[in-house]
Amino acid sequence: MENDQLIAIEVFCANYDVEYAFIESLQEHDLIETVTVGNTRFLQVPHLNQIERIIRFHRELDINLEGIEAIQGLLSRIEHLDREMALLRNRLRFYEPGL
């Protein structure tokens, strides 16, 4: 992973007004992944949207980490089903172009 695709957790926490312990608990629940370079832990920039969504769930909706895990699992399944449905729709259009 290139360094321009990483953001230090301390910087993220300062910018988003989030406690470091919250980020650690997200990692412990396997909701996010961190990267360690030297003695510094980083978040991956491509995953920031997901982390921001988790923070909103927790702050605005007051959802605990177990609830967030369940929501993330359901959202992941929905995204998978959407991709599968698009693939099947494309196959069907091959055989029936009017659809």
Rounded Cα–Cα distance for residues 84 and 89 (Å):
9
Residue 53: domain span: 3-95
Domain count, the chain: 1
Rounded Cα–Cα distance for residues 86 and 99 (Å):
13
Rounded Cα–Cα distance for residues 57 and 84 (Å):
27
The CATH number for 10's domain is 1.10.1660.10
- Mean pLDDT confidence for 49-64: 94
Q: Tens digit of pLDDT for each residue in 78-92?
A: 999 999 999 999 999
Q: Tens digit of pLDDT for each residue in 60-83?
A: 999 999 999 999 999 999 999 999
Rounded Cα–Cα distance for residues 29 and 8 (Å):
20
Give the pair of three-digit tokens for residue 14. Answer: 């300062």
